[in-house]
């Protein structure tokens, strides 16, 4: 579940994370973790400062290469031991199962520490993962010696425990021999219900027919549900039963003493165990992040001190995972030569996917993750990411698409500054086109005056013309193949795009007469995008 992300210098609304599909990215990342603590780490990621982003990117790169060359570390045994440790530190007693879990946890830490030690010279970025794990040799050796593979106390390691168990075994064998002798007596053939013995109240008893109670001297401990069988402890074995009961209590006391000692040792090392929990959870997350980078064909980006975005062969990470053979990669530049990118083109051209790709690259950078783009891609640490994409609108307040977008953009205008990335899909639609275009232009000018980086998609010719009037704006378009009447999903920088509404409508089965009438109406009006393209090309020539 996502929430607004706030730090002293950062703000990303939960709504923005949702529309960018960050929860899906986070869930996929968590699914690649090997343990519960690793998944919890991935599910509760927080944004990082620039120094820690760079450090983590280096760690993920090193882990990715290490996994490729060798194998991933084995985190088997890692679990969240916070609850049992807290109980132990408060004087509670840990069970054998819980102590066995701590034994396996310590073993996991020692195994992972050894793994990083073996590779620390070749992968110095991961040296911190080696150093941060406390080996806990004393506790680990104690628990290995104290517990068997079946998670029982090891008699060989505790002589007093072994001695009591041997006494109990000897006494119980003597009781059973006595009972066997009793059951073979001919005079008891008609007295015993069955020639077997049982246990009641931790004492050995024989099964006697209800009408034969007086035939065996002893103590009645139970009666069967039918009332036909009496469970009687013969007087002949009463003393032996007493001895067995006392020895059982002695065994319990000895066992509790051992559990108390082991629990105290675990509590003594509680802070180191918790430190290892944090270190190993992070190690599991780093391993998952490396695997995720491989899935999305990701690379470590250069994190700049300035709000800039230069992405080479950028791709949407989820589409890269789902359809790697057909995904289209695009180069995207923003912030170096211009601060606003106005993207236009066909409705089915993938503009929304492109916007989400840009937004996700910014968010993934904040969390210190590789981005789905080529090496040497550069991106700044944006302290605010604001987005209005697709069907994002304030449905909870029953607002229309236009009203909902006005509400969202009003908030953007209040928050945007020179460390912000603002993304708007189809700005100011759902109203009078002339008024919508005028309002959209005024909004874009106000946003760009705040110093933010801005990416917007539109069909308004007035917005496409901004690049010819203001050097802070640049046009781009998603191309469309007129021969196949299908989008190519490729971004072309420098020129606005044509919507191809008539061609697309015809391709989707619209009546030809309607298409012809629409074309006639279009030609009678002064809204030629082609003329605009010629105008912008001439402007570029003059600037060159």
CATH number of the domain where residue 96 is located: 1.10.1420.10
Tell whether 331 and 462 lie within a shared domain: yes
Query: What is the number of structural domains in the chain?
Result: 3
Tell whether 85 and 120 lie within a shared domain: yes
Q: Is the pTM of this model over 0.95?
A: no
With 70 as the cut, is the pLDDT of residue 94 above it? yes
Tell whether 204 and 341 lie within a shared domain: no
- For the stretch 39-92, pLDDT in tens is 999 999 999 999 999 999 999 999 999 999 989 999 999 999 999 999 999 999
Domain for residue 2, yes or no? no
Tell whether 375 and 495 lie within a shared domain: yes
Domain for residue 252, yes or no? no
Residue 105's pLDDT is 98
The helix/strand/coil state of 498 is coil
The β-bridge partners of 233 are 219
Domain for residue 223, yes or no? yes
Q: Give the pairing type, strands 330-334 and 420-424.
A: unpaired
> How far is Cα of residue 17 from the mean position of the Cα atoms in its chain?
15
Tell whether 175 and 266 lie within a shared domain: no
- Find, among 346, 344, 354, the residue nearest to 482 by Cα: 346
> How far is Cα of residue 387 from the mean position of the Cα atoms in its chain?
23
For residue 311, give its domain range.
Answer: 297-500
**In the predicted model, what is the mean pLDDT of residues 341-369?**
89
Minimum mean pLDDT among 25-29, 402-406, 538-542: which range? 538-542
Residue 273's pLDDT is 98
Residue 203's pLDDT is 94
Domain for residue 493, yes or no? yes
Residue 467's pLDDT is 84
Tokens representing 226 are 């039918």
Tell whether 424 and 301 lie within a shared domain: yes
Longest dimension (CA), the chain: 125
The helix/strand/coil state of 426 is coil
Q: How far apart are CA 139 and CA 271, in angstroms?
A: 13
With 70 as the cut, is the pLDDT of residue 103 above it? yes
DSSP 123: -
The helix/strand/coil state of 139 is helix
With 90 as the cut, is the pLDDT of residue 442 above it? yes
474 and 494 in contact (C-beta within 8 Å)?
yes
Residue showing tokens 């986070």 = 26
- For the stretch 54-64, pLDDT in tens is 999 999 999 99
Q: How far apart are CA 480 and CA 240, in angstroms?
A: 95
251 and 161 in contact (C-beta within 8 Å)?
yes
Residue 397's pLDDT is 41
Tokens representing 93 are 């007693």
Tell whether 391 and 266 lie within a shared domain: no
- Find, among 210, 211, 206, the residue nearest to 195 by Cα: 206
Domain for residue 507, yes or no? no
Domain for residue 6, yes or no? no
Tell whether 147 and 277 lie within a shared domain: yes
pLDDT band at 398 (very low <50, low <70, confident <90, very high): very low
Residue 530's pLDDT is 59
**C-alpha torsion sign, points 184, 186, 189, 192:** negative
398 and 434 in contact (C-beta within 8 Å)?
no
Domain for residue 4, yes or no? no
Identify the residue with better confidence: 530 or 278: 278
Q: How far apart are CA 373 and CA 320, in angstroms?
A: 11
Q: Give the chain's mean pLDDT.
A: 88
Tell whether 321 and 456 lie within a shared domain: yes
CATH number for the domain that contains residue 487: 3.40.50.300
Residue 169's pLDDT is 95
Q: How far apart are CA 344 and CA 352, in angstroms?
A: 11
pLDDT band at 434 (very low <50, low <70, confident <90, very high): confident
**In the predicted model, what is the mean pLDDT of residues 157-176?**
95
- For the stretch 469-493, pLDDT in tens is 899 999 988 876 656 556 677 888 8
Residue 8's pLDDT is 64
Tokens representing 72 are 């991933």
How many CB atoms sit inside 10 A of residue 454's CB? 26
Domain for residue 526, yes or no? no
The β-bridge partners of 5 are 12
* Percentage of the chain lying above the pLDDT 90 cut: 67
Tell whether 264 and 316 lie within a shared domain: no
**C-alpha torsion sign, points 97, 101, 106, 107:** positive
Q: How far apart are CA 131 and CA 117, in angstroms?
A: 9
Tell whether 110 and 172 lie within a shared domain: no
With 60 as the cut, is the pLDDT of residue 391 above it? no
Tell whether 264 and 196 lie within a shared domain: no
pLDDT band at 533 (very low <50, low <70, confident <90, very high): low
């Amino acid at each position: 579940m996502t929430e607004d992300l706030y730090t002293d210098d950062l703000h990303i609304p939960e709504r923005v994370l949702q529309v960018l599909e960050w929860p899906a990215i986070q869930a996929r990342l968590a699914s690649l973790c090997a343990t519960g603590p690793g998944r919890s780490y991935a599910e509760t990621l927080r944004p990082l400062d620039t120094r820690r982003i760079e450090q983590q990117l280096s760690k993920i790169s090193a882990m990715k290469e290490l996994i490729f060359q060798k194998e991933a570390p084995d985190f088997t045994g890692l679990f969240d031991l916070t609850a049992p440790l807290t109980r132990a530190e408060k004087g509670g007693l840990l069970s054998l199962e819980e102590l066995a879990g701590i034994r396996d946890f310590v073993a996991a830490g020692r195994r992972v520490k050894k793994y990083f030690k073996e590779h620390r010279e070749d992968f110095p970025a991961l040296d911190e993962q080696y150093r941060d794990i406390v080996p806990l040799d004393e506790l680990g050796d104690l628990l290995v010696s104290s517990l068997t593979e079946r998670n029982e106390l090891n008699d060989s390691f505790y002589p007093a425990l072994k001695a009591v168990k041997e006494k109990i075994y000897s006494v119980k064998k003597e009781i059973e021999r006595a009972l066997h002798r009793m059951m073979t007596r001919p005079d008891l053939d008609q007295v015993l219900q069955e020639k077997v013995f049982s246990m009641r109240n931790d004492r050995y008893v024989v099964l006697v027919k209800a009408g034969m109670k007086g035939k065996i001297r002893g103590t009645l401990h139970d009666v069967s549900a039918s009332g036909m069988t009496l469970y009687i402890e013969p007087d002949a074995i009463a003393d032996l039963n007493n001895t067995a009961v006392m020895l059982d209590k002695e065994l319990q006391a000895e066992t509790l003493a051992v559990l108390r000692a082991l629990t105290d040792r675990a509590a003594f090392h509680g802070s180191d165990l918790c430190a290892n929990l944090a270190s190993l959870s992070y190690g599991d997350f780093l391993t998952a992040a490396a695997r995720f980078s491989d899935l999305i064909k990701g690379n470590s980006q250069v994190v700049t001190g300035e709000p800039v975005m230069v992405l080479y062969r950028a791709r949407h990470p989820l589409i890269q995972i789902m359809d790697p053979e057909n995904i289209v990669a695009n180069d995207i530049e923003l912030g170096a030569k211009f601060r606003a990118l106005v993207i236009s083109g066909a409705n089915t051209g993938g503009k929304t996917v492109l916007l989400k790709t840009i937004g996700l690259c910014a968010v993934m950078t904040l969390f210190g993750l590789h981005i789905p783009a080529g090496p040497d891609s550069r991106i700044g640490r944006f302290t605010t990411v604001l987005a209005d994409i697709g069907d994002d609108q304030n449905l909870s307040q029953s607002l229309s698409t236009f009203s909902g977008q006005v509400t969202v953009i009003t908030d953007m205008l209040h928050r945007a500054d020179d460390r912000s990335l603002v993304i708007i899909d189809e700005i100011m639609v759902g109203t009078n086109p002339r008024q919508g275009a005028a309002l959209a232009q005024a909004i874009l000018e106000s946003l760009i005056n705040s110093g933010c980086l801005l990416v917007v998609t539109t069909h308004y010719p007035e917005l496409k013309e901004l690049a010819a009037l203001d050097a802070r704006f640049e046009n781009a378009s998603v191309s469309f193949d007129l021969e196949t009447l299908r989008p190519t999903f490729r971004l072309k920088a420098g020129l606005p795009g044509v919507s191809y509404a008539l061609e697309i409508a015809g391709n989707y089965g619209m009546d030809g007469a309607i298409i012809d009438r629409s074309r006639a109406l279009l030609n009678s009006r002064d809204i030629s995008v082609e003329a605009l393209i010629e105008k912008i090309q001439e402007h570029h020539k003059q600037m060159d």
